[in-house]
Amino acid sequence: MRKAITLTVNGRERGVEVEARTTLLDLVREQFGLTGAKLGCDIQVCGACTLLVDGKPVSACSMLAVDADGCAVETIEGLGSKDKLHPLQEAFMEFGALQCGYCTSGFILTAKALLAENPQPSDAQIRDYLAGNFCRCGCYQEIMQAVKNVVGES
Amino acid sequence: MELADIGKTFRRLDYLTKVTGRAQYLADMNVPGMLHGKILRSPYPHARILRIDASKAEKVPGVMAVLTRDDILHDEGIEPFYGPVFKDQTIVATEKVRHVGDPVAAVAALTIDAAEAALKLIEVDYQELPAVLNIDQAIKPGAMLVHESVKLPTSGFADLAEIKPIDGTNLCTHFRLNRGDIDKGFAEADRIFEDTFTLPATQHCFLETHACIASVEPGGRITVWATTQNPFVVRTQLANIFKVPVAKVRVIVPYLGGGYGGKVYPKVEPITVALSQKAGRPVRLVLSREEVFYTITKHAAVIRMKTGVKNDGTLVARECEIHLDTGAYAEIGPRVAKKSGYTAAGPYKIPNLKIDSYSVYTNKPPAGAFRGFGVSQSAWAVESQMDIIAAALNIDPVELRKQNGYNEGDKFVTEETLRAIGLKECIDQVAKSIGWETRDEDREQNRSSIRRGKGLACMIKATITPSISCAVVKLNEDASLSIYSGTVEMGQGSETVLAQIAGKELGIPMPTIQVLGVDTDVVPYDLTTSSSRSTFHMGKAVQLAAQHIKRQLKEIVASEYGVPEDKIDFADGKIRLPESQLDYSEVMFKRFGMQGGTLVGEGQVKTSTKDEFGEKSTSAFWFLAAGAAEVEVDLDTGKFKLLKYASAVDVGKALNPLGCQQQLAGAAITGMGQAMFEEIAYDNGQLINPNLVDYVLPALGDMPAVIDSIAVEFPDRNGPFGAKGIGESALIPVAPAIANAIYDAVGVRIKDLPIKAEKIFVALADLDRQ
Ligand code: FES
Ligand code: FES
């Protein structure tokens, strides 16, 4: 069964027809060609597929596209502008908060949501908020440093 | 523009594309006309296939090909058997399935849905067979055989040439190492220690699952995009399977979403190519998380270790038997067994040794390379037992290690001379970092049921030898540089380090250097991106290639400007003559007469079983490392917390310090997972946790407050600017360091990984009863 939905993706309105069982991740990756979000676990535990829906981080592997009807979706591709990256992107590079990069989009978007909710989080609050994202390369220390640095600067 | 340099942190070249979400990994790629592949897998650990009927599946709308054993057994153009060491694998199962998840058939269809629908319609009749599900069952006399016979390749790896399966048993290989006189050694010992240590199978869990796009053109030209750490090995294997020259096989490797050893040797490439060949169209296959667990694991092991020691702590003899569960296919298990055997003496001088290391076939998913490659298994036993010995003899564990540990110029168990050995410096550094000296005072922080303890461990590891890395660099007309290397960027930062090395050699700015992607049609041969070998081998090859460019520039200047070669120098990217200086681009212009042309530099590194002094060499360089942990254990519950962890790794020379720190911390964190949580659980041959909920990975909340990563520098004479490989070192000491810290805290010795609260709780209860 196909259903027509409308949503904004990185600020642009999009109308699209989807199967009822299409996930938001598949919609964004396959129909919109925004492949920054990755499929890691497919069961809502690893955070690699994280997208922001109305500003909140969601596991796009486990959210139906039809449920995003009328929502604002933000992906890693929507961060920063051509000549200026988002401060989190800058900090991740500066502190070495990624190796293979497969988890990076998920971590940066989750951290962005955190900072929107709580611009001055404590270390423990950062750790809690990012607890649902895995980095198998083991960049946790550097990720903490990067996020803390952005907090410090804002 | 900032000049390339070494010993200095540069922003990694792969970062911008990764933080903006633009980096293309395999599952992000599409090829026009591409079909989607899916695999039908065995539900049984061991069964004979009586009948396969794909006729209904073939009729599903959208299905373009169904691949079964009939396609590979009766096609003149396909050699059905392959494998890196023994040819015991087939593209799909032929007579038997040998583990749950063994591929039985595959479908290529226009949509994933059609492919999945077709899988359900493939009819397979199985006759279940008794299965051997662990090492004990497999090595019992008269055990059911996983393989009735194993085909050997016509030519294989030089370092594994004498290793063969033992007919009529499930022993895949047996590696032996004998040194001195073992009976005499034990006779000289004052004390003998005998312990058995075990480790479970684990999984790499790279966030990017294995995937492949294959396209077979009419005429047999094969192109694959692969998630592989060793494109040239995949190329060779595909050429052998599909009976074409290697030049007809093109392997392209995008950035990998992690490898950690789980992406070496063919994985999904043969089946994807076979599907594409049958369907006559490109096919993409992306494994699910569950399927990754069926594809490759890390060896479970049982290690029996008997060690003879003098009262003063001198190690005099060791007998060690290692059994590694290699699963249903040998994969690279024979080499893992060999490396475990070589390091069963640890980084210690033990004159009398009898070591037997076996890889054992069982009806479980195949085990292969995993960061630490056999040494994380042996070191678990070696380093745990060192502390058992230290406690019994009342010797400080640091002192016991230093007393027996290798020094510069000592002989390894293979009787070769060890050089550039920063072992003791590593031990001292981690001891200092966690406050080893004050560990008794720190115990005063014990409160109610909480006890603190500290422990450490160290290790020695070899890199794959002999091996080959070739590199090409091109100096372009504007003096920018293109680097052609077969090293796969899988997160380790190789692109950046290679650019630093070549750029430093030529004195050019980092932003003028481009490292090309890996494509076997374009880049010269490299054996593998594994074994912590790339900085050392490919780094050196790139350095030699840059030097080749300098020689050419020198010759051009000498002939075009009439300056004698000994008056020509290089500095800061310029050519210095007695009276003047020249830019590279000016020299290029002079040579070619216009803005254009290319200078090509070549570098080759080939290590052999003999070093430059003609002495035996089983490793082109040695990795040394130590790790130390501080823990807190709750006497009432057995729960423990890692408070602090320190790694010290002899890196030779830290070329990119932040990159080193990432490798050390990342490896240590992987080690923490292996030490504390990770374990593939089986029930009658069925995996019961092949997903990331039930298979627990370390997360941010599990991290100790401090992870200290220390780079110790004992330059290697052959490494680029003295550098050694560092990818695996910091992982290996983690588990024994934590186990030793727990013993130090509460006096219980855990001998089987992972270390869980329940095990400590039970051991504490036993201790109470005594
Ligand atoms: S892929 Fe969605 S949470 Fe892992
Ligand atoms: S950088 Fe590889 S998983 Fe995080």
- State pLDDT tens for residues B295-334: 999 999 999 999 999 999 999 999 999 999 999 999 999 9
Calpha distance B404→B407 (Å, rounded): 9
- For residue A50, how far is its CA from the centre of ligand 1 (angstroms)? 7
Does the CB of B740 have a partner CB in chain A at under 8 Å? no
Calpha distance B668→B738 (Å, rounded): 11
- Are residue A38 and residue A74 in the same domain, yes or no? yes
Using a 6 Å cutoff on CB, does residue A45 contact ligand 1? yes
- Stretch B602-620: mean pLDDT, rounded? 93
pLDDT-derived band at B145, boundaries 50, 70, 90 = very high
pTM above 0.90, yes or no: yes
Q: Select from A92, A99, A62, A65 the least CA-distant residue to A76.
A: A92
Q: Select from B241, B269, B265 the least CA-distant residue to B464.
A: B265
CB B623 within 8 A of CB B724: yes
pLDDT exceeds 90 at position B447: no
pLDDT digits (tens, 9 = 90+) for B83-110: 999 999 999 999 999 999 999 999 999 9
pLDDT digits (tens, 9 = 90+) for B566-580: 999 999 889 999 999
- Residue numbers in B near A40 (CB within 8 A): 207-208, 289, 692
Mutate to test the pocket of ligand 2, among A103, A133, A142, A143 (most ligand atoms within 8 A of CB): A103
- As for how many domains chain A has, the answer is 2
- Residue numbers in B near A51 (CB within 8 A): none
pLDDT exceeds 80 at position A116: yes
Which B residues, 406 through 465, put their C-beta within 8 Å of a C-beta on chain A? Answer: none
| pLDDT for position B153 | 85
Calpha distance B261→B611 (Å, rounded): 26
Does the CB of B255 have a partner CB in chain A at under 8 Å? yes
| pLDDT for position A82 | 83
- Measure the N-to-C terminal CA separation of chain B; round to a whole number of Å: 70
- Are residue A47 and residue A70 in the same domain, yes or no? yes
- Are residue A116 and residue A99 in the same domain, yes or no? yes
pLDDT exceeds 90 at position A153: no
**CB B28 to CB A39 under 8 A?**
no
DSSP letter, residue B764: H
pLDDT exceeds 70 at position A152: yes
Residue type, B228: T
Does the CB of A72 have a partner CB in chain B at under 8 Å? no
What structural domains does chain B harbor?
31-131+204-295 (3.90.1170.50), 132-203+296-405 (3.30.365.10), 427-450+624-770 (3.30.365.10), 467-606 (3.30.365.10)
pLDDT-derived band at A65, boundaries 50, 70, 90 = very high
- Are residue A92 and residue A67 in the same domain, yes or no? no
Chain A CA closest to residue B371: A137
| pLDDT for position B686 | 97
Residue type, B48: R
**CB B16 to CB A93 under 8 A?**
yes
Ligand lying nearest the CA atom of residue A26: 1
- Stretch B583-612: mean pLDDT, rounded? 95
Does the CB of A19 have a partner CB in chain B at under 8 Å? no
Within 6 A (CB) of ligand 2 lie A 98-103, 135-137, 139; B 207, 258, 491
Q: Atom of ligand 2 at shortest distance to CA of B257?
A: 2
Choose one of A44, A78, A112: the last residue of a domain. A78
- For residue B365, how far is its CA from the centre of ligand 1 (angstroms)? 24
- Are residue A54 and residue A117 in the same domain, yes or no? no
- Residue numbers in B near A36 (CB within 8 A): 20-22
Question: What values do phi and psi take at B452, rounded to 5?
Answer: -100, 150
3-state secondary structure B71-97: HHHCCCCCCCEECCCCECEECCCCCEE
Percent of chain B with pLDDT over 90: 95
- Are residue A69 and residue A23 in the same domain, yes or no? yes
Angle at B120 between CA B118 and CA B121, to 5 degrees: 65
Q: Could you tell me how many CB contacts below 8 A there are between chain A and chain B?
A: 149
| pLDDT for position B407 | 97
Mutate to test the pocket of ligand 1, among A23, A35, A45, A102 (most ligand atoms within 8 A of CB): A45
- Are residue A69 and residue A100 in the same domain, yes or no? no
- Are residue A73 and residue A129 in the same domain, yes or no? no
Residue B358, CA distances (Å) to B166, B341, B736 in order: 10, 9, 22
Q: Mean pLDDT of all residues in chain B?
A: 96
Q: Select from A103, A111, A109 the least CA-distant residue to A151.
A: A111
**CB B701 to CB A104 under 8 A?**
no
Residue type, B41: R
**CB A100 to CB B490 under 8 A?**
yes
Which carries the bigger pLDDT value, residue A114 or residue B769? A114
- Are residue A138 and residue A105 in the same domain, yes or no? yes
Q: Mean pLDDT of all residues in chain A?
A: 97
pLDDT exceeds 70 at position B481: yes
pLDDT digits (tens, 9 = 90+) for B55-89: 999 999 999 999 999 999 999 999 999 999 999 99
CB B464 within 8 A of CB B531: yes
Minimum CA distance residue for ligand 1 atom 3: A44
Choose one of A78, A112, A132: the last residue of a domain. A78
> Which CATH number covers residue A93?
1.10.150.120
Does the CB of A134 have a partner CB in chain B at under 8 Å? yes
| pLDDT for position A154 | 63
Lowest pLDDT segment from B366-370, B607-611, B694-698: B607-611
- Stretch A107-118: mean pLDDT, rounded? 98
**CB B255 to CB A100 under 8 A?**
yes
Percent of chain B with pLDDT over 70: 100
pLDDT exceeds 70 at position B40: yes
Q: Select from B230, B729, B303 the least CA-distant residue to B527.
A: B230
| pLDDT for position B163 | 83
Q: Is A135 exposed, middle or buried (0-12, 13-18, 19+ CB in 10 A)?
A: buried
Calpha distance A89→A80 (Å, rounded): 8
What is the domain extent for residue A53?
2-78
pLDDT digits (tens, 9 = 90+) for A76-106: 999 998 889 999 999 999 999 999 999 999 9
**CB B21 to CB A99 under 8 A?**
no
| Closest residue to A98, CB basis, from B18, B700, B703 | B18
| pLDDT for position A122 | 97
| pLDDT for position B12 | 98
- Are residue A10 and residue A70 in the same domain, yes or no? yes
Choose one of A60, A78, A96: the last residue of a domain. A78
Question: What values do phi and psi take at A64, rounded to 5?
Answer: -80, 145
> Which CATH number covers residue A37?
3.10.20.30
- Stretch B673-694: mean pLDDT, rounded? 97
Shortest alpha-carbon distance between residue A136 and chain B (Å)? 6
Does the CB of B62 have a partner CB in chain A at under 8 Å? no
